[in-house]
């Protein structure tokens, strides 16, 4: 869901082993690390959610916690 918000140039999410790819956005679901090759942005899962939701890392943590409830 968040991949399409960040990477609007990729329509399909493809998976291969521990990798998810959506256009130029690649994420390793095992480590939680991601890289957006088109812009050079990269980080961990908290950076990813913060970027997708327009929040800071605390907001990202709150978003993830609310989805686990």
* pLDDT tens for each residue of the chain, 69 residues long: 666 666 556 566 778 888 888 888 889 989 999 998 989 999 999 998 998 889 999 999 999 899 887
- Residue 7 DSSP code: -
Asked if 2 and 48 touch (Cβ cutoff 8 Å), the reply is yes
Asked if 24 and 9 touch (Cβ cutoff 8 Å), the reply is yes
Q: Kindly report whether the global pTM for this prediction surpasses the value 0.75.
A: no
Asked if 55 and 63 touch (Cβ cutoff 8 Å), the reply is yes
The confidence score (pLDDT) of residue 9 equals 60
């Amino acid at each position: 869901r968040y991949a399409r918000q960040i990477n609007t140039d990729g329509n399909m999410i493809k998976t291969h082993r521990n990798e998810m790819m959506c256009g130029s956005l690649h994420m390793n679901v095992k480590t939680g690390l991601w890289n957006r090759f088109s812009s050079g942005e990269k980080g961990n899962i908290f950076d990813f959610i913060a970027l997708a939701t327009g929040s800071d890392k605390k907001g990202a943590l709150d978003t993830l916690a609310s989805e686990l409830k």
